[in-house]
Amino acid sequence: MILLALQLCFALLTLAVLLGLVRLVRGPTVLDRILAFDLIATSLVGMIALLSVKWRTPLYLELVLIFSLLGFVGTVAFVFHLHQTLPARPPDPEDAPAGTVSPGPPAP
């Protein structure tokens, strides 16, 4: 029974990786590609954990930590790079905190 559950989970994680690769290639935005990269990294971590359970060894759990860290740092690096390269947009008056008065048109 456990072997069937492991195979099903491994097949679903493989499907998630393939769908993530499709989204990584097709885009259309950089944010879609960042999320696809994060999905692939998380799915690979799950696959490593499943292999560790299947082979009944805790040795691969260190790889889980390494891949988790690499996936997180890679996602943060992509977002930081995106934040540095995109132009800043002007503040939206609707985003102002309650009680503040937004400057109106200049007085004549």
Q: Where are the alpha helices (DSSP H) in 1-108?
A: 2-26, 30-54, 61-85
What would the pLDDT profile of 53-83 be if each residue is shown by its tens digit? 999 998 888 889 999 999 999 999 988 988 8
Residue range of the domain that includes 31:
2-83
Does some domain include residue 98? no
How many Cα neighbours within 13 Å face the side chain of 83?
A: 6
Does some domain include residue 90? no
Does some domain include residue 101? no
* CATH for 44: 1.10.287.3510
What would the mean pLDDT of 81-87 be, rounded to a whole number? 83
pLDDT value at residue 100: 61
Does some domain include residue 106? no
What would the pLDDT profile of 92-107 be if each residue is shown by its tens digit? 666 666 666 556 566 6
State the amino acid at position 7 in one-letter form.
Q
Task: Provide the number of structural domains found in the chain.
Answer: 1
Look at residue 31 and tell me whether its pLDDT is greater than 80: yes
Does some domain include residue 96? no
